[in-house]
Each structure stands twice: as C-alpha cells, then as structure tokens.
Structure 1
Amino acid sequence: MSELQIGFALFIATFLILFSGIPIGFGLVLISIVFLLIFGDAGALSSVSSIFIGELSSFALLTIPLFVLLGCTIGASRAGKDLYEALHRWLVRVPGGLVIANIMGCGLFAAMCGSSPATAAAIGKIGIPEMIERQVPVRLATGSIAAGGTLGILIPPSLTLIVYGIVTHTSIARLFLAGVVPGIFLVVLFALYAWLSSVRFDRIRHGGGAVPAASYTMGQKLRGSVRSLPFLAIIVAVTVFMYTGFATPSEVAAVAAFMALALVVFLYRTYRMRDVWPMMRDTVRESCMILMIVAGAAVYAYMMSYLYITQSLAEWVFGWGLHEWQLILLLNVFLLVAGFFLPPVSVILMSMPVILPVLQQSHIDLVWFSIVMTINLEIGLIHPPLGLNLFVIQGVAPQVALRDIMLGVLPFVAIMLSFIMVLALFPELATWLPDRLMGAGA
C-alpha cells in the first residue's frame, strides 16, 4: 500500500475507534500500535512507551492542570452568579441589557475559567430563567448563553491555546495576547446583535405585556460589583505577570490557581471538605483526560511520521497547486467538520501533525492561524446538531425545546463565520497586540 492509502485507512480506523466509546487518549495509542505492527517494524514499536512517557514529562504541560484547577475552583463557586448580578445591575435599563449582561458575563467568566461548557452551565443556570421571566425570546436567551460560553477557549487563559502552543512550539504568551482583541470583538458583536434583536422585538411587541425593568441606585450597583473585582484581579495578574516577563506560563498558572482558591475560601467560606472535594475531583478528572490525550496524540503523530503519512499528505495537498486563500478555506472546512464531532483539544492534537507542515511550507502565521482555528472550533461547540454547548444549555434549561436552542445559536454561528473572514482580510486583529508587546515574531 502507498502512504496515501495507509493514511486513508488510518482515517477510517481513527473515526471508528473514536466513536466506539474508547477514551480518546488510549484509542490513539491503540491505533498507533496496530498500524506500526502492520506497516512498521519492531524498532518502531520499541519507541512507543518512551514517547508516551516523555511527552508527559514536559515541564510546559504543568500549565494545563493548574489552569484546570483555576477553572474548576471558580466554576464551583458563586463567582458566576455574582459577576452576572453585577453586570445586570449596570445594564438593566439598556434595551436588551439583560441579554448583553449575560453575554458579557460569559466573556468575563470564560476568561477566568477557560472552559466553554462550564461557562455556559454557570451563567446559563442563572441567566436563562431570568431572561425568560422577563419575556426575552427563548431563542435569543439560550442562543446568547451557548455562544457566549464558547469564548472560554478564546479569551485567555485558554486551555485550547495552551495545547496549540505546546504542539506547535509557539509562545503561549503570544497566543494569549493574540486572543484578546478577537475575543473582545466577538463579545461586542454578540452584544450588538442582542441589542438589535431586543429593539426589534420590543417594537413588534410594542410594549404590551412587558415586564418592567428593575432599577438600582448607584450604591447598589457599586456594592454588586465588589465581589466580582477580586476575580477580575486574577485576569489582571495573569496578564501582568506573563507579559512583563516576571513569570513563565506555568508559574503564572500556579499563582492564578492559588489566588482563585484563596478568594473562594475567604469570600465564600468553601474550606470544608464537602466544598473542596468537588473542585479537586473535577480538576484531576479533566487534567488526566487532557494529559492522556496529549500523550496519545504524541504517539499518534510519531506513527504518522514514521510511516511517512504526514509528509505524503502534505506533498499531496501541495500537489493540488492551491492558492493560499484556497488552502485556508480548505483547512477551515476540515476543522469545522471535525469540530462537530470532537472536542477542541482532540481536534488540535490529532490534526496539527498533518496541518503544521502545510502551514509552515505555505508561510502562514501560526499565531494568526491559532485564533482562526479556535474560533472555528468554537463554532463546532454550538453548531447543530452535535454542538456540546447545545446539550449543556438543554441540561440547565430543560423547559426550552432543543429545536429552539439550535435555532437560537444560528445567528451567532453566522457572526463567528463572518468574523473568520474579517480575520482573513485583517490578520492584524490577531497579530497586532502580541507584536506590539512582545516584538514581531513567528
């Protein structure tokens, strides 16, 4: 068999294994061993264990469990509710202000916890019932939370960008900076759509039967913001420590996790074992899952390289004579489809061994591509019919039909697809800030 034929067989086998229910990390190792047995030799198999262990011994991977701990700590506390309440008090009189408060709450909470499903669940539990009670259309209410939750893998600190940086050997600090401006733009675009939709809905309703908005004094608004400020300080600390060179990403993650734990203990009195145990349990579970996928993907990438599949696929793609824009379009379609079926971390770890040589030979900026890829994977989290956040929202709002949730996210999918095109036309939206603060670099 030729290398391309082996690659096609590998694609089919990988697809079948992943949908068999086997944990992704172990499934990748199993596929790698089987293909090395059939098409490789004993020498290739002898390296599997050392590659698996060697990948896990990387100091850079320490960043992952520490940021997971940060996210689980904040996710298990009342930080989401306090953050939402503070924004709600400031925006309650704005048309669509309740929806905008939820979207901004998702953006800020996502920046603290770095998890899209956790953000959608935490803010959705509070915001969706409140919006429905105040007669916000259910599609707008659920769609805004589902889409807002996706910001967790774009706004730093982001586990997706950390994994991308480790796989491609790109500066994690540079990737974090690259996600700031696009993340802010998406929050603004989501909020603008919510405002326009709310104004239109209010005109159609013509004020009949509307629930009057509450009003808050300046003192109440300020008091509502007090509990959120310490958590926002974590974001500031991460930014200052990382971009001033005061600490490495791993050290920054440790400081952020410690600050989150301290704040949760002092603000919410979560020092009892029944409070701490769920945080630590979820941290260990999620960290082990991600690290096993990382190690399994390293073995998978080694197998593809050893059997010359990666190189042959790259040569095959270049043989098409695609223009740079055509290549980018092809990669985006592939990532969009892959994101329907697999979580973002898995897509990055499985696809980058093939995509990276193509990007490097085409001289495509890896920092810019990381943001395009992340937004693309965000779409996969909410795109019907298999987006993970859709089912998270259905879990926290069972009174809303899944069909309404799916229809509610489609405008946000269109916004994100449009923004990818804007990024393609104006790559400086992703590259300007890291180049400005860290100097021009690859």
Structure 2
Amino acid sequence: MTPLMAGLIGFVALFALLALRMPIGLAMILVGAGGIAVLNSPSAAMNVLGAFPYSYSAVFSLSVVPLFVLMGAFATVSGMGTGLYKTAYSWVGHRRGGLASATILSCAGFAALSGSSIAAAATMGKVSLPEMERYKYDAGLATGSIAAGGTLGILIPPSTVLIVYALLTEQSVGRLFLAGFLPGLLLTLLFVGTVIIVTTLNPAAGPTGPRTPLKERLKVLVNSGALVFIVTIVIGGIYTGVFTVAEAASVGAFLTFLHALWSRKLTLQRFFAALLDTIRTTAMVFFILIGAHFFAPFLALTRIPMNLATSIGELAVPALAILLIIIAVYIVLGTFMEGFAMLVLTVPIVLPIITTLGYDPIWFGIIMVVVVEMGLISPPVGMNVFVVKGVAQHVPLGQIYRGIIPFWIAMAVCVFLLILFPDIALYLPNTMMGRG
C-alpha cells in the first residue's frame, strides 16, 4: 500500500469514527497507531502506544492547562462574572443597547480569567438574559450578544485553544497569548459597535436602562479591581518576562483562589467541584493532544502535508488568494465540526502550507481562532448557540441564529482587519521581553 493511499484510507476511517460519535482523541489514537503499524511496523505502533501517552502527559509545559482551567473555576466560584456584569451595566446600561454591550464587555472580562467560551456564555447568559428580558430587549439581540460575547473566551488570553495550538505547532504559548490580546480587544469593540448599529437601525431592539449614579458606578468599579489586578499580574508578568507562562498560570490560580476565599463563597463543596471540573477539562484536553500526536506522525509518514505544501507553493497563485481559500474552508468546516476537532485535525496539514507561503504561524493562529469562534455560532453545530438555548429555552433556535448574524459579520470584519494589518496580532509578541 502506498503512503498516499494509506493516508486517504486513514482520513476516511477517522471521519467514519467521528460520525459514530467516538471521542476525537480516541479516534485519532486508533487511526494514527493503525497507520504507523501499516507504514512502519506493528512493533513501532505498540511502542508508541505503550510509552507516549505517559511521557507526553508528564511534560512540564502542559501544566499551564490545569492551572489556567483552575483559575477560571475559582473565578466562577467567587462570582466574578456577576460582578463584572454589574460593573459594565452601571457604566453603559443607560445607553441604547447598553445591556447587550454590558454583556459583551463582561464576557470579555470573564474570558481573561476563564479561557472558555462555553463557560463565558453560560455564566453571562444566566446573569444578563433576565435583565435584558425585563427591559423588553429583542430576543435575537439579547441571545446573539451572549453567544457572540462568549466566543471571546477562546481568543482573549489565557485561552485553552491557544495553548492547544501552541503545543500542536511548537510555538510559544506566551507569544500566542500576547498575540491574542489586541485582537480580543478589537473584536470586543466590533461587537459593541454591532450592538450600536443594530439598536440605531431598530431602537426598540435595545431600550435604554436606568442611569446609575456616579457614586454607585465607582463603587462597583472598585469591586471589580480584583479582576483587573489578576489580569495585569498574569499578562503583564508574561509580557515583561517576570514570569514564564507556567509561573503566570500558577500565580493566577493562587490569586483567584485567595479572592474566592475572601468573597466567602468558596465552600468545601464548591472547592471540590472546582477541582473536579478542572480534572475533567484537563483530561479532555490531554486526551485530544495525545491523539493529535499519534495522528501527526502517521500524516508525516504519508507525506500528504509536505506534498500538498510543495504543490501549492508551485502554483502561480498569489499567497493571499490561497490564504483566503483556507479561511473559507475553515468557515465551512466550522458549520458542522467542533472547534477542537477542527483544530487538531487540520493544523498538521495546513501549517506547512502557511509557512511555505511565508506567513507567520503566530499570526495565523490568531486568524484561525477567530474563524473557530465563527464556527461556535454557526449553524448547525454552533456550540455556543446551544449553550444559550439551554439558558433561554423559550427563545426559538431560529431567532437566536438570526440575532447572531450581525455578530458573525463583525467577526469576518475582524479577520479582514487582521489580514490587512498583521501588527494587530504581532505587535505585542514582537516587543515582549523574555520568553513565553
């Protein structure tokens, strides 16, 4: 059997297993090990199966995953999400569409601690949706702002998706975190701008709320100081080189733990629940990474990525055109494939093409994450949409999708701006001091 034929059979087998709802990590392990056995030898496959999962799980750099997940879990326990919403609400709630804008701003703040789009959408949905319904907000705008705002969780650092991308591509986690910061702020502003446009065209979609007195605004702003302090310490420490990423993660987890104790919301039951949630998420991420590192050597043996990159490099087509085609393919894949699955399956194939075209892999990683975000709110999968639907069970799914369309367009604008001005993503990592 030729390597190319083995590769094609491996892809068909992989998608068949995924269609049967097998976990992607297990599917990649089975296909990768089987492919190595065919193209190399059964003993080589057994050696990899016996040694690699443990040796890879024991790599110190992977400690950032459970530490950042734990930081988000403690932030949730301490009620930071609710506090963030109250702060944003007090400052912008009196403007047209202010409650939707407050939801997006609080999602951005919560993203800086949780690193999870689903956690951000679920937390903010429970807090903000009742308020928007109380002021008669359009259901599409209300649910769309929650679903879209939640996607910021995988772009604004710390982000589990960025960590996975860094490990798959052997890039610096710290540089990727810094690269995601300004694009995350840009996308937040684009979302807020989307709310302003929607409510300007249809004022009834987002009525104004009550004006909060300045004294109360300052009070809630001070109460949110813990978030600003923790984010400044974590991201600032990485940028200045004071901390490695692993050290920043441990400091962030410890500070959110102290805040949860100080808030008196960290009961023994919630403490163990936070640990259990961290273990579950970490196990899921590790399983996917281990599977990806079984599948990648199999792909290397087939030489499909290298041959594809060589063929594309020889085409008389501008690099930008190829990049736009890749982005378009990702957008289509995002409509039916879960973000993590899309990431681990395609990065080993696409990265050689991107580097052959001369693009920066750090910059492309941010582009890719934004496109994955688009998939999180695209039908028919749209994971964030179903999270919001769970919170707003009385809102028809079609109405939620209609409310998401303007925010999806805002994401497309963000991708366009990142292509036009790469320094939006590359300025901070290129000026960082020390190593990530």
- TM category (shorter chain) comes to over 0.9
Change (3 A) 1:335 1:219: same
C-alpha RMSD of the superposition = 2.0
Q: Is the 8 A contact 1:297 1:350 kept in 2?
A: yes
Measure the CA separation in 2 of the matches of 1:6 and 1:337: 26
Measure the CA separation in 2 of the matches of 1:52 and 1:437: 33
| Seq. identity, % | 34
Q: Counterpart of 1:161?
A: 162
Letter in 2 for 1:232: V
Q: Counterpart of 2:128?
A: 127
Q: Counterpart of 1:22?
A: 22
Measure the CA separation in 2 of the matches of 1:438 and 1:221: 36
Measure the CA separation in 1 of the matches of 2:309 and 2:53: 25
The answer to whether structure 1 residue 398 and structure 2 residue 393 are counterparts is yes
Q: Counterpart of 2:196?
A: 195
Measure the CA separation in 1 of the matches of 2:3 and 2:417: 37
Change (3 A) 1:391 1:6: same
Letter in 2 for 1:311: M
Letter in 2 for 1:295: I
Q: How does 1:410-421 map to 2 (within 5 A)?
A: 410-421=405-416
Q: Counterpart of 1:73?
A: 74
Measure the CA separation in 2 of the matches of 1:378 and 1:235: 22
* Deviation, structure 1 residue 55: 2.2
Q: Please give the per-residue CA displacement for 1:233-253, whole angstroms capped at 9, x wherever unaligned.
A: 111011221112111101110
* Deviation, structure 1 residue 387: 0.5
Q: Which runs of no fewer than 5 residues in structure 2 stay unpaired?
A: none
* Deviation, structure 1 residue 319: 5.1
* Deviation, structure 1 residue 35: 2.4
Q: Counterpart of 2:111?
A: 110
Q: Is the 8 A contact 1:55 1:298 kept in 2?
A: no
Measure the CA separation in 1 of the matches of 2:301 and 2:273: 42
Q: Is the 8 A contact 2:163 2:173 kept in 1?
A: yes
Match of 1:360 among 355, 359, 375: 355
Deviates more, 1:349-358 or 1:82-91: 349-358
Q: Please give the per-residue CA displacement for 1:145-181, whole angstroms capped at 9, x wherever unaligned.
A: 1001001111111111111112222222211111111
* Deviation, structure 1 residue 221: 1.4
Measure the CA separation in 2 of the matches of 1:9 and 1:312: 17
The answer to whether structure 1 residue 275 and structure 2 residue 270 are counterparts is yes
Q: Please give the per-residue CA displacement for 1:155-213, whole angstroms capped at 9, x wherever unaligned.
A: 111111111112222222211111111111111111111112223322x68xxxx9773
Q: Counterpart of 1:226?
A: 222
Q: How does 1:313-332 map to 2 (within 5 A)?
A: 313-318=308-313, 320-332=315-327
Measure the CA separation in 1 of the matches of 2:74 and 2:143: 25
Q: Is the 8 A contact 1:6 1:309 kept in 2?
A: no
The answer to whether structure 1 residue 290 and structure 2 residue 291 are counterparts is no
Measure the CA separation in 2 of the matches of 1:155 and 1:81: 19
Change (3 A) 1:438 1:334: farther
* Partner SS, residue 335 of structure 2: helix
Letter in 2 for 1:402: L
Change (3 A) 1:399 1:167: same
Q: How does 1:239-254 map to 2 (within 5 A)?
A: 239-254=235-250
Letter in 1 for 2:333: A
Q: Counterpart of 2:302?
A: 307
Letter in 2 for 1:340: T
Q: Counterpart of 2:179?
A: 178
The answer to whether structure 1 residue 217 and structure 2 residue 225 are counterparts is no
Letter in 1 for 2:419: A
Measure the CA separation in 1 of the matches of 2:54 and 2:353: 28
Measure the CA separation in 2 of the matches of 1:230 and 1:15: 45
Q: Is the 8 A contact 1:55 1:294 kept in 2?
A: no
Measure the CA separation in 1 of the matches of 2:211 and 2:341: 46
Measure the CA separation in 2 of the matches of 1:136 and 1:129: 10
* Partner SS, residue 155 of structure 1: coil
Q: Is the 8 A contact 2:75 2:260 kept in 1?
A: yes
Q: Counterpart of 2:379?
A: 384
Q: Is the 8 A contact 2:96 2:207 kept in 1?
A: no
Change (3 A) 1:241 1:167: same
Task: Give the TM-score normalised by the residue count of structure 2.
Answer: 0.94
Task: Give the TM-score normalised by the residue count of structure 1.
Answer: 0.93
Q: Which runs of no fewer than 5 residues in structure 1 stay unpaired?
A: none
* Deviation, structure 1 residue 320: 4.4
